[in-house]
Amino acid sequence: QTMASYSVSDAVATYYLYMTYVHPFIFSLATIIPMSPDEVLRKGSGTLCEMLLMVQAFQANIICPNKHQADLEKFYNNRLVESETYIGGHVECLETGVFRSDLPTKFQLEPSAFEQLIENLDRDLQYAIAVEGKLDIDSVTNYDEVKDAIKQKLVSLRDHPTREECPLIYHLDVAAMYPNIILTNRLQPPSIVTDVDCTACDFNRPGKNCLRTLEWVWRGETYTAKKSDYHHIKRQIESEMIQTGGVTSSKPFLDLSKPEHLLKLKDRLKKYCQKAYKRVVDKPITEVREAGICMRENSFYVDTVRSFRDRRYEYKGLNKTWKGKLSEAKASGNSIKIQEAQDMVVLYDSLQLAHKCILNSFYGYVMR
């Protein structure tokens, strides 16, 4: 009895969790991406991005290029590269811990920074009034009072840099960070160009500003064996017969296909590294490199990201609107309106979440 009731309660809980979180999310993904719900669930975010781009490309009459095939034999510092990638953006944490506004915290302030704030006080206040507030400075009657009040606080902070007091807690968030990095720098696979591409371009004139160079961090793992070892192993294996499939069937190495070549060669190289150097790959190497980004390339990828980001903001706005309607309906006590508002909140929330997941995948997809 206990066992049965437990398993039933488990199933019921799972069902409700599914209906609350997963079901609307699948629906949302299936409305954005041209796939059945089952497919949407099984595919990775890269494939979902790809499908979306294909739909957009079809509408814009653009042919999708084939997937980029990495160079199979790449060397770095005279060693064969096992794998290479780039390091994405990361958030740096200055101080970890649990902070509360009612627990005093120790602060160590920088007096010179407050000195700078005091010097630029007029400029900052005028900017806040004229540009941000869109008001006329002459219409502000208590300008000097506010300025003096702020100045007193800044002076007291400057003069007592070591303090212990209850903190004020702010939540700062970068809105759509990755999509905005893509949009501001026009990052997309076809716009990564070299001098060869630029030489053939009509806009390649002295003083051109259509090429932007950006730094990125390359990260690669190399085998411990040197280039000479690699070529020695390669020559050796080329003269051998390789077993394929069963025990009896074997083929000359050179008759195998290119991917099989590489597999057998890497296997042999791993064994050699293990015996000769006691480890297969060296520690990962990172290196800062520069890439040229063309600002004149057809902006299909960037436009897709932009329209997608804007559509997500649209859904966020609608979600907010319906949340307002929900609280109104609750106040009026109309059960039909409450149910409708609740449904719409769930719908728009899941739509904006689905957009968010795919939007953040666009950044990683560029590498693919």
Residues 292, 199: contact at Cβ < 8 Å? no
108 three-class SS: strand
**What length does the chain have?**
368
Amino acid at 217: V
Q: How many CB atoms lie under 10 A from the CB of residue 129?
A: 17
Q: Among candidates 259, 254, 258, which has minimal Cα distance to 237?
A: 254
Dist. CA 63–CA 354, nearest whole Å = 26
pLDDT in tens, 347-357: 899 888 888 88
Output the CA–CA distances (angstroms, integers) from residue 41 to 13, 17, 54, 73, 249, in the order listed. Answer: 21, 16, 19, 35, 41
Residue 29 is predicted with a pLDDT of: 84
Query: For residue 288, what are the β-bridge partners?
Result: 217
| Over residues 216-226, mean pLDDT | 91
**Nearest by Cα to 284 from 79, 103, 109, 50:** 79
Provide the β-strand partners of residue 83: 221
Q: Which residues partner with 214 through β-bridges?
A: 291
| Tokens 């941000």, located at residue | 132
- Banded pLDDT at 102 (limits 50, 70, 90): very high
Lowest mean pLDDT among 33-37, 118-122, 172-176: 172-176
Note the pLDDT tens digit of each residue in 156-172. 999 999 999 999 999 88
| Residue 242 main-chain phi, psi, to 5 deg | -110, 135
> Measuring CA to CA, which residue among 289, 286, 281 is closest to residue 79?
281
- Contact between residue 229 and residue 276 where contact means Cβ atoms under 8 Å apart: yes
Across 23-27, 46-50, 146-150, which has the greatest mean pLDDT?
146-150
**How much is the CA Rg of the chain, to the nearest whole Å?**
30
Are the C-beta atoms of residues 72 and 262 closer than 8 Å to each other? Answer: yes
Which of 195-204, 205-214, 251-260, 278-287 is least confident? 251-260
341 falls in which pLDDT band (50, 70, 90)? very high
Per-residue pLDDT, 247: 65
298 CB neighbour count, 10 Å cutoff: 13
Tell me what pLDDT residue 53 has. Answer: 86
CB 186 within 8 A of CB 299: yes
240: CB partners within 8 A, 6+ apart? 252, 253
Contact of 20 with 333, CB cutoff 8 Å: no
Query: Letter for the amino acid at 297?
Result: E
The structure tokens 């999509």 sit at: 179
In Å, what is the CA distance from 142 to each residue of 123, 137, 154? 16, 11, 19
Single-letter amino acid code for the residue at 288? V
What is the mean predicted confidence (pLDDT) over 50-76?
Answer: 83
Residue 176 in this model has a pLDDT that exceeds 90: no
In contact, 37 and 356? CB cutoff 8 Å: no
DSSP letter string, 323-363: HHHHHHHHHHT-HHHHHHHHHHHHHHHHHHHHHHHHHHHHH
In the sheet that 192-193 helps form, which strands lie side by side, from edge to edge? 75-76, 79-86, 211-226, 285-294, 192-193
Q: Do 201 and 278 touch, CB atoms closer than 8 A?
A: no
DSSP state of 231: H
Average pLDDT score, the chain: 87
pLDDT at res. 166: 92
Task: Give the model's pLDDT for residue 154.
Answer: 92
Nearest alpha-carbon partner for 189 in 78, 65, 273: 65
> Are the C-beta atoms of residues 363 and 182 closer than 8 Å to each other?
yes
Two tokens, residue 211 = 């090429």
**209 — pLDDT class (breaks 50, 70, 90):** confident
